Structure 1
Amino acid sequence: MTRIPTPVTRLLGTDLPVVQAGMSWASSSPALPLAVSRAGGLGVVAAGPMRLDDLARTLDDMTNGTHRPWAVNLPLYRAGADEVIELLLDRRPPVLIASQGGPRRYLQQFHDIGTTCLHVVAGTEHARKAAEAGVDGLVVVGAEAGGHPPPTMVTTQILVRAIVTAVPGTPVVASGGIADGAGLAAMLALGAGAAQFGTRFLASHEATVHPDYKAAVVRAAIDDTRTVGNGLGVIRALANDFTDRMGELEASAADIDVRRKAFQGSTLRDAALHGDVTDGKVEAGQSAGLVDAIMPAAAIVNRIVTEYREAIRTLPRVEGG
């Protein structure tokens, strides 16, 4: 097995510094995370939209399906989060990636059962607080990311470098706008120990989203995403009729209740499960423009490694003093 050892791979026990993002519906089942973990990366189950019984079955499938490390992503704001935490404490996932809340809510309980805990952050202040609370590592999400980018819209390159400098010694996973091995090399050069790939794995055979969603990602250019939902929880999604409507309402300074109705009238579920790529929330990052094919997840991991090798091979060497 090929290995690229970094502080993050040593922390997680993976062979490669490749983390598959926890994506609602796309990895809310064992298929994608199992494939990524078996290929040497870290597969991540997205617990956000899952019912408890479905999550329990998926956790059992992960435990029985691989001896390699895997993770669960838990948005702490989701309904029934406390019940999900109890289930996870019973099933003991190797890694927990928590977001949308403070780490003190869960950290000691999971450390007590031996789970490695990463916390998602989008700014230096939150990064410092999470590190001081004792998290094992950070997932740093920049503005290019699909789904929920940081409200400050600071790019991944700047944010990763700032946080690596602010919390030296804390392992960092960089996320947002990374789709290939060159992007991985760039993030490692900035001081991160791994890169998280979301949109790239949306276009995988194992991602459990509608084929039309995957096709929309592959068709997209780098400027085909929009950020909408100001004051409502900004998302980045592929441009469509939904984002056009939201953009018009925001540009005209429409009343918040009018915008909320339009925002809540479209859902990620409609796009992911039913293939409504016209009016649904087709969440994806700017890196969609770098995705050129739907591939098996293991082949994506292998391609990232090949591209990484080529990227570092072609870097100019220092000459002289």
Structure 2
Amino acid sequence: MSAFGFASRLPALLGIRVPIVQGGMSWASSSAALPLAVARAGGLGVIAAGPMRPDALVDAIREIRAGTDAPFAVNIPLYNKRSAEFLDIAEAEAVPILIVSQGGPRAHLARFHARGVKWIHVVAGPDHATKAEAAGVDALIVVGGEAGGHPAPDEVSALVLVRSVVRATALPVIGAGGVADGAGIAAMFALGAEGAQLGTRFLMTEEASVHAAYKQAVLGAGIADTRLVGRGGLPVRQIRNAFTDAVDAAERAGMGKDDLATLYMSHTLKEAALDGDVALGKVEAGQTAGLIDDCPPTALVMQRLIEEAEAARRRMIG
């Protein structure tokens, strides 16, 4: 049983107290502060390696180790040009848990399982889930179309996507997309998941390392104020701004695929997250932005989530 009463294999598997996973968010958790705060509060804190320099990743891992004995994870997208180096660092630094996306796990699993590392694979649907299970991963993360950043490109909602993966596999499933509070966590368990991953909720904490203007843009957004841009490639869900309006207009005007790709790549998440350009930068956030109205310390968010999830469970059982 987890700390809020739902049955889950994840605490025993991963060594965490509660099956709440902080999404690996480029820049927001590409440092020690947010993952460390989540780990200290009993959840699974996740370093987002994607935009990091190798030396910065090593420093973040060591800072978390110095700050807590609790487990934590590093998120590595295998398409990243530095993924091989990130994997080497994770091995050398004895990272206990890897969360891996956008590539096949089979070539890497034996190496990490031999060291006792748990491998959680991010999948886009039941077909990917069964392949990952056959390869030998330890658990799965399934991200619905509501999520910020890079959700599944077919835009299927978490309500359907999580359920389809739970039905297809015997592995523990962590549901993500559209979860901002304890009621959302309870919904994931009702679908058969054994944990929930939250991104935007943890983005909106004091410890998330993004520009204040970025957080203010998310704080001011409603549930219908995100847009999915870059369809046909690696789509990203972000807060609507001048950049998304330009992409929408270009698509409606019938701009060619190559020119659309150039337009899509003309602005970045870094512009918003580090420089505070929320008009043209990619302000990545999920639809749950419209459910979030504060930016408190992570410890308070974790306390709320646990209490809300338990209250939701009690409502469900009458």
Q: Same fold (TM over 0.5)?
A: yes
Which residue does the alignment assign to 1:3? 3
Which residue does the alignment assign to 2:309? 308
Q: CA deviation at 1:271?
A: 0.4
2:262 is matched by which residue type in structure 1? K
Q: Does 1:257 align with 2:263?
A: no
Equivalent residues, number: 315
RMSD: 1.1
Instruction: Show CA shifts across 1:20-40 (max 9, x none).
Output: 000000000000000000000
Q: CA deviation at 1:316?
A: 5.5
2:143–2:175 Cα contact (<8 Å) kept: yes
2:214–2:273 Cα contact (<8 Å) kept: yes
Which stretch shifts more, 172-181 or 106-115?
A: 106-115
**Equivalent residue of 2:274, what SS?**
helix
Which residue does the alignment assign to 1:67? 69
Instruction: Show CA shifts across 1:185-237 (max 9, x none).
Output: 11011111100000001110000000111111111100000011122311100
Which residue does the alignment assign to 2:175? 174
Which residue does the alignment assign to 2:16? 14
Q: How does 1:101-180 map to 2 (within 5 A)?
A: 101-167=103-169, 169-180=170-181
2:3–2:306 Cα contact (<8 Å) kept: no
2:147–2:176 Cα contact (<8 Å) kept: yes
Q: CA deviation at 1:105?
A: 2.6
How many Å separate the matches in 1 of 2:307 and 2:317? 18
2:149 is matched by which residue type in structure 1? G
**Equivalent residue of 1:314, what SS?**
helix
Q: CA deviation at 1:108?
A: 1.1
Instruction: Show CA shifts across 1:111-160 (max 9, x none).
Output: 11111100000111000000000000000011101011111111101111
Q: Does 1:202 align with 2:203?
A: yes
1:9–1:193 Cα contact (<8 Å) kept: no
Q: Does 1:47 align with 2:49?
A: yes
Q: CA deviation at 1:314?
A: 2.2
How many Å separate the matches in 2 of 1:105 and 1:157? 31
**Equivalent residue of 1:315, what SS?**
helix
How many Å separate the matches in 1 of 2:11 and 2:317? 26
TM-score, scaled to structure 2: 0.97
How many Å separate the matches in 2 of 1:87 and 1:274? 28
Work out the percentage of aligned pairs sharing the same amino acid: 50
Which residue does the alignment assign to 2:102? 100
Q: Does 1:37 align with 2:65?
A: no
How many Å separate the matches in 2 of 1:72 and 1:256? 34
Q: How does 1:150-299 map to 2 (within 5 A)?
A: 150-167=152-169, 169-299=170-300
How many Å separate the matches in 1 of 2:136 and 2:277? 42
Q: Which runs of 5+ in 2 are unaligned?
A: none
TM-score, scaled to structure 1: 0.96
Any runs of at least 4 consecutive aligned residues in structure 1 with deviations exceeding 3 A, and if so which?
none
Q: Which runs of 5+ in 1 are unaligned?
A: none
The structure 2 residue matched to 1:79, chosen from 63, 78, 81, is 81
How many Å separate the matches in 2 of 1:288 and 1:311? 21
